[in-house]
Amino acid sequence: MKKITVIIPSRILDNKLIYFIRNFQKRFKKIKLNFVIIVKEIGIKKPKIKNSIILIQKKKGFMNACFEAINYVSDEYFTFIYDDDIFSKEIEKMYEKVKDYEFVMTYGKVSNIKKKYKFDKINFKEINSNEILNTFYGGKISKLPFTPVSPICAIFEKKILKKWKSNIIKYCRKSKLRKKFLLDLNIGPDLILYLTQLSYLK
């Protein structure tokens, strides 16, 4: 059975978050998930979530939460999910594909969380990593309607984590504007995660 670490950064660990995680767990029968939950505070006594590590964030900021959490990824593969995400009932099919491929990705949509959303049936296509990389730089391929940048839409390899973090930190050192966007406003690290993973597949 494949194991995948799921990182969940959130503001508070409360009954609502536990319900969200348990609902997510129910979708998986063949894949074992290990959770790294990092929050600013714990709002309930003795929270219990199967196969999980619960962390209190040390430094403020969303990206610091992510950087602290990645040190606890125990499996060969990992992903992120957020507590306002809604997932297709077929999501395990995507996770299962890590048995055959180094990198798997799909699509999501930004929508009102209260709105009912009809998910498309999952339909997999095999695409060369160089072709996907090219779409981030203006190229187009018929197999990709658009290029995702949210990490919840993909399964990544653990081996890229240190490189991902160092890429962001080095890039931000050269400019206060870069730091503002990437580390303060959280705009860009998701894209760099994709680019780092795809560069490993070349």
Q: So what's the pLDDT on residue 119?
A: 82
Q: Using the predicted structure, report yes or no on whether residue 196 has a pLDDT greater than 70.
A: yes
Q: Which helix (H) or strand (E) holds 72?
A: none
Q: Using the predicted structure, report yes or no on whether residue 142 has a pLDDT greater than 80.
A: no
What is the pLDDT averaged over residues 1-27?
A: 93
Q: What is the mean pLDDT of the chain?
A: 90
pLDDT tens for 152-191 read 889 999 999 999 999 999 999 989 999 999 999 999 999 9
Q: So what's the pLDDT on residue 117?
A: 73
Local structure of 19: helix, strand or coil: helix
Burial class (CB in 10 A: 0-12, 13-18, 19+), 23: exposed
Q: Using the predicted structure, report yes or no on whether residue 19 has a pLDDT greater than 80.
A: yes
Q: So what's the pLDDT on residue 1?
A: 61
Q: So what's the pLDDT on residue 28?
A: 94
By residue count, the chain amounts to 202
Any residues with CB less than 8 A from the CB of 99 and at least 6 apart, and which?
2
Q: So what's the pLDDT on residue 182?
A: 95
**pTM score:** 0.91
What is the pLDDT averaged over residues 135-150?
A: 77
- Burial pattern 138-151, b for ≥16 Cβ within 10 A else e, equals eeeeeebeebbbbb
81 in Cβ contact with 23 (< 8 Å): no
Sheet of strand 32-42, all strands in order from the earlier edge strand to the far edge: 52-56, 32-42, 3-13, 77-80, 154-157, 104-105
Which region holds residue 188: left if phi is over 0, alpha if psi is between -120 and 50, else beta? Answer: left
Q: Output phi, psi for 35, to 5 deg.
A: -105, 135
Q: So what's the pLDDT on residue 129?
A: 87
Q: How far apart are CA 106 and CA 100, in angstroms?
A: 15
pLDDT tens for 27-61 read 999 999 999 999 999 999 888 898 999 999 999 99
Structure tokens at 81: 């999910």
Q: How far apart are CA 83 and CA 143, in angstroms?
A: 30
Q: Using the predicted structure, report yes or no on whether residue 98 has a pLDDT greater than 70.
A: yes
